[in-house]
Amino acid sequence: MLASGVLTTELYHRTGLLASLWRATADLTMAVHIAHTYANGQTISFNKMPLQLTKPAPQFKTTAVVNGEFKDISLSDYKGKYVVLFFYPLDFTFVCPTEIIAFSERADDFRKINCEVVAASTDSHFTHLAWINTSRKQGGLGPMNIPILSDKSHSIARDYGVLNEETGVPFRGLFIIDDKQNLRQITVNDLPVGRSVDETLRLVQAFQYTDKYGEVCPANWQPGAKTIKPDTKAAQEYFVDAN
């Protein structure tokens, strides 16, 4: 019996369904995939279709720490702006403060190009605040120039496909969301390696350039560098100059 996105393991084994079951919704319009199975095999849970670039980013609303205070934040608050949403595993850890501080210190560079940076983890907002109030010399964050979301229910990390279901913490997922709230870029790092603020800023600038001018950005493009007109004949100008 299939109900509310849950399939009993008895039916699962009886029908021989594979680990991914497509078109399982009533109207057969959305693909689903298995997110987690319990060790004792009572239920199999299903999530929505995986994220797709150029499609709407999953909406969320949750409590964040903003300028040292608690505030409810939703993705819709940022309509009309680009957003860099990045997940990190845990407060009071090792790589995480280096990333968060680096993005916070460059937040004004992003704002200059109409982009907001938002961090998120599955810690509570109380833990976030305690970490912010801890000295950087002791592994804390200190004053922050970006909001830090609390995803204590794990729902946001799960919707964005970065939650490690076994540990309950997210991988280092980073998402660039455009001013129409569509996904434009997805990067997910394993836990040991942090991300590049410079590369993230470059990507936002590149997507904004293509939005405005309709041309495409070649490898290692930087603002002010040549771009390519997406036309067979016109593109020859770029290739002749580049080679």
Name the residues annotated as catalytic.
Answer: 96
Is the Cβ–Cβ distance between 90 and 188 less than 8 Å?
A: no
Give first-to-last CA distance, the chain, whole Å.
62
State the Cα–Cα distance between residues 67 and 70, nearest whole angstrom: 8
**Stretch (H or E) spanning 197:** helix 197-213
Pairing between strand 82-87 and 115-121? parallel
Pairing between strand 172-177 and 115-121? unpaired
**Stretch (H or E) spanning 234:** helix 232-242
89 burial type by CB count under 10 A (0-12 exposed, 13-18 middle, 19+ buried): buried
State the Cα–Cα distance between residues 175 and 49, nearest whole angstrom: 17
- Residue of 213, 240, 214, 215 lying closest to 228 (CA atoms): 215
